Chain A
Amino acid sequence: MGAQVVTITSGKGGVGKTTAVANLAVALAADGARVVCIDGDIGLRNLDVVMGLENRIVYDVVDVIEGRCRLRQAMIRDKRLPELFLIPAAQTRDKSAVTPSDMVRLCNELRGEVDWVLIDSPAGIERGFKNSIAAADRVMVITNPEVSAVRDADRVIGILEAEEKGTPALILNRLNPVMVRQHDMLSAEDVLDLLAIKLIGIVPEDESVIVGTNRGNPVALDPKSRAGQAFRNIARRLSGDEVPFLDLEAGNGLWARLAKLGRK
């Protein structure tokens, strides 16, 4: 069976696309799947940093497309998981170095090699975004519970629907249940009420994500992290498993303690 190509996009920047790609890739690969992630943000690459593979880059995606190297040479093997690879973006070029049909060709070549191709889309709805969705079998839209991020997600979903790419699945990232309870943050219901698409996962706000991102150690590898658990669950849902949603109000963690403080 050929690989599934999944693109993660958001419209707005800074909502967690790259973090989500790194974590889902790690989670899928830790389950034994063969995974390639492609950094679609040409000119502003950073998936390599989040995955901790920065200093191993020799060739990048533009080198492959322009024929300066073979596909295999640009696939950097992860230092932890032997079946996880990264194809980095070029840092010294811009989006116009790649066309949508280049991406389709590249992904078709990868389909026979691996089980999953995850594409990290750049922010925006221009060329880089079009490149990133061109080859996608499925698209996941990630957003934060903020009005501006939700507005941009709505725009992106509208474009995906208009292009007949199918309805994307939604990842709600950085939800803070305490703030939601105090009506200071949009709830998952508020977001779904507007976007009206299927939710594939909610990732709670968790400081360990930032630490992991800076150290190049995605939190999905940390068994204690709540956010890591949420990403692992999304990876399993992506593979077709039925996984119940995390109870973000669960009584054993930091959230519960904070919640009690909040109620006093």
Chain B
Amino acid sequence: MTDPNSLVQIKGLRDGLLVSLGNASWDDLRAALMEQIETRQSFFRGARVAIDVGGQIFHVNELSELRDTLSERGVNLWAVVSESPTTEKTAQLLGLATRISKPRPQEMTRPPAEAAGGEAAAMWIGRTLRSGTRIEFPGNIVVLGDVNPGAEVIADGSILVWGRVRGVAHAGANGDQSAVVCGLDLSAGQIRIAGAATIPPALRSPRRGSKVEVSERSGEVRPEKISLKDGILQMEPWQANQS
């Protein structure tokens, strides 16, 4: 196992390199990877690299450190593929892709909702998602905060936003028509469920008297749910006496 070639496997993809890490401690793997890069500098210089880290769990500082170290050696890290939801979330928050164009073989066979733990599974995002962030999860997603313009939340299941949606929320991204999007204010976002998309103001009567929409500021808080009925997106306001 100490042979670096067994810890770090490199193969070419259509648009870059895929580095697959074996089973060892991160320190060993990192050292093996760096050794490969140092000894084959001309091969790696300018390369676009995706890393499959298997089940390794990464936090922001480790992943950003790895990316910066690679970047200083002229290697551009663009994607991190992982089986760990923690690592996936970290990578997505840092703006790295988590899926490379070719799906992993086991992903093609497993039903996504089950892979994520079935109905019960949700990814918890305890912060506002700012422009440029893209969160994808093969189950449900809960956001405690806003989804700002330019941010995207994409779930195979449903999406609940305890805040305002002013970016894109796509529920049922895998085709599940029973998925819903709930939020405290959906009026300024773009909502998609399965294959249908809408801009919520289209779902309700125009607002009274507001001047030119100079402001991106949305109106008052009004909890809403959008679901798909007979192929059309419908919005229901949430009411206290509703069951």
Contacts and interface: CB of A to CB of B under 8 A. Distances in A.
Query: Do A and B interact?
Result: yes
Interface of A: 99-101, 125, 127, 130, 147, 150-152, 154-155, 157-159, 161-164, 183-187, 189-190, 193-194, 196
B240 interface: no
Contacts of B217: 189-190, 193-194
Contacts, number: 73
> How many residues of B sit at the interface, in one of the four size bands?
20 to 34
A185 B214 contact: yes
Interface in B129-163: 129-133, 146, 148-151
B216 A190 contact: yes
Contact of B131 (A155, A162, A186): A155
Contacts of B93: 162
Contact of A164 (B61, B95, B211, B215): B61
A154 B129 CA distance: 9
B132 A163 contact: no
Interface of B: 60-61, 64, 68, 71-72, 93-95, 127-133, 146, 148-151, 166, 211-212, 214-217
A161 B72 contact: no
Q: Which of A154, A157, A187 has the most CB of B within 10 A?
A: A154
Nearest to B61: A164
Contacts of A157: 130
A158 B130 contact: yes
B131 A163 contact: no
B72 A101 contact: yes
B60 A151 contact: no
A153 to B, nearest CB: 9
B150 A159 contact: no
B216 A150 contact: yes
Contact of B130 (A127, A147, A155): A155
A152 B150 CA distance: 9
B214 A183 contact: yes
Nearest to A165: B64
Given A151-B149, A155-B130, A185-B214, 19 more contacts: A99-B71, A100-B68, A147-B214, A152-B131, A154-B150, A155-B132, A158-B130, A159-B95, A159-B132, A162-B93, A162-B95, A162-B133, A164-B61, A183-B211, A183-B215, A189-B217, A194-B166, A194-B217, A196-B146
